[in-house]
């Protein structure tokens, strides 16, 4: 499962350069750093265009009349399910993020963890895109979780190495969609502010408050 993510880069032009992609002048004003991007929010994807890679805005989730948006597609079945098979064949993309959230039961509640690279930097998630009435939309492909993520959720996003990202854009190769090595990620506890989709600011990544120890007297 991948339902919330971060993309905290402050400069979309620099982000495009890092991704070896072009970004249209008309799209520059749509970009802002995201600290708690949620379904139906505007995200960014990299797709293949006639002149090479394009970094373009897209809504998170394929619309589904009368139902919540479809935000994830299982890598094992996406190629044959009606909702995803055309995009799997013709409209693959990379979803650049620098982290994603999962929650773990703890102390009678659900405590968030931010999963990210140990030294920081981008993660390239395998995705699918399609055109809709108000623009483009995308879903994130998922795989079974690796050992690190399995304690938080049974599924995780399909994370690609840079060379795998180029291969994914070129061909619908399901063998690229495998659980990421555990050393690619660390799980950092963050505060409960991120629990609400109304919050999308740097404080979402702040550590949780220290627990107060009860007095013995």
User: pLDDT tens digit string along 124-152?
Assistant: 999 999 999 999 999 999 999 999 999 89
Phi, psi of 129 (to 5 degrees): -130, 160
**Which of 109 and 161 is assigned the larger pLDDT?**
161
* Distances from the Cα of 88 to the Cα of 1, 18, 73, 124, 148, angstroms: 18, 25, 10, 17, 27
Confidence (pTM)? 0.94
Three-state DSSP state, 205? helix
Residue 5 has pLDDT above 80, yes or no: yes
pLDDT bin (cut points 50, 70, 90) of residue 50 is very high
Q: How confident is the model at residue 25 (pLDDT cuts 50, 70, 90)?
A: very high
pLDDT given for residue 213 in this prediction: 55
Range 5-205 has CATH code 3.40.50.300: no
Q: Is the pLDDT of residue 215 over 60?
A: no
Distance CA 64, CA 39 (A): 13
Q: Are 69 and 81 in contact (CB under 8 A)?
A: no
39-43, 157-161, 168-172, 212-216: range with lowest mean pLDDT: 212-216
Question: Mean pLDDT, to the nearest integer, of 175-179?
Answer: 97
What is the Cα 141 distance to its own chain's centre?
9
Residues contacting 30, CB < 8 A, separation 6+: 42, 57
Residue of higher predicted confidence among 209 and 137 = 137
pLDDT tens figures, 108-127: 778 999 999 999 999 999 99
Q: What are residue 104's DSSP bridge partners?
A: 111
């Amino acid at each position: 499962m991948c339902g919330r993510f971060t993309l905290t880069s402050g400069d979309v032009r620099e982000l495009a350069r890092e991704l070896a992609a072009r970004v249209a002048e008309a799209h520059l004003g749509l970009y802002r750093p995201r600290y708690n991007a949620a379904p139906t929010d505007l995200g960014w994807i990299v797709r293949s265009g006639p002149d090479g890679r394009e970094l373009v805005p897209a809504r998170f989730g394929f619309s589904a009349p009368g139902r919540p948006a479809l935000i994830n597609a299982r890598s094992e079945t996406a190629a044959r399910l009606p909702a995803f098979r055309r995009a799997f064949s013709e409209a693959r993309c990379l979803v650049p993020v620098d982290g994603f959230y999962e929650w773990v039961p703890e102390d009678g509640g659900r405590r968030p963890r931010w999963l990210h690279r140990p030294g920081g930097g981008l993660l390239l998630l395998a995705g699918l895109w399609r055109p809709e009435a108000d623009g483009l939309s995308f879903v994130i492909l998922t795989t079974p979780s690796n050992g690190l993520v399995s304690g938080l959720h049974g599924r995780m996003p399909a994370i690609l190495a840079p060379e795998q990202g180029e291969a994914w854009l070129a061909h619908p190769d399901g063998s690229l969609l495998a659980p990421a090595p555990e050393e690619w990620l660390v799980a950092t506890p963050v505060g409960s502010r991120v629990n609400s989709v109304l919050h999308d600011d740097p404080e979402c990544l702040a550590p949780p408050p220290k627990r107060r120890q009860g007095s013995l007297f």
